């Protein structure tokens, strides 16, 4: 069984999820590399598009499941206050600090 890590969800404080550590690390790195450092940031759909080509093919063949993983990483990074949402809808994300 693959190594697993615990992640958070900004929408469910205190709840922990266990996910594949290698996949999470790959997507986390790609998300942080793609996101701008200031608001208004990037839409989630644009983020998924930007991340897919940078994911390892052996973990995400053809970008399979990339959208789910980007969302999981997004919610964890928001909970940890590493990224944030722009103040006005629609959801746009950017890196903090």
**Res. 18 pLDDT band, cuts 50 70 90:** very high
Q: 21-34 vs 66-79: helix axis angle to the nearest 10?
A: 80
Residue 68 has pLDDT above 70, yes or no: yes
E strand residue ranges, the chain: 4-8, 16-20, 42-43, 83-85, 92-95
Please compute Rg for the chain using Cα positions. Answer: 13
Question: What is the pTM assigned to this prediction?
Answer: 0.94
Cβ(70)–Cβ(33) below 8 Å: no
**pLDDT tens digits for range 3-17:** 999 999 999 999 999
**pLDDT tens digits for range 41-67:** 999 999 999 999 999 999 999 999 999
- For the chain, domain boundaries: 4-95
């Amino acid at each position: 069984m693959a190594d697993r890590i615990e992640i958070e969800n900004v929408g469910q404080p205190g709840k922990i999820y266990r996910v594949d550590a290698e996949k999470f690390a790959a997507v986390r790195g790609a998300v942080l590399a793609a996101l701008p450092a200031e608001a208004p940031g990037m839409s989630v759909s644009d983020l998924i598009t930007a991340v897919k080509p940078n994911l390892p093919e052996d973990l995400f063949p053809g970008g399979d499941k990339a959208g789910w993983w980007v969302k999981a990483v997004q919610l964890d990074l928001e909970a940890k206050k590493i990224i944030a949402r722009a103040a006005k809808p629609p959801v746009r994300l950017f890196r903090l600090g």
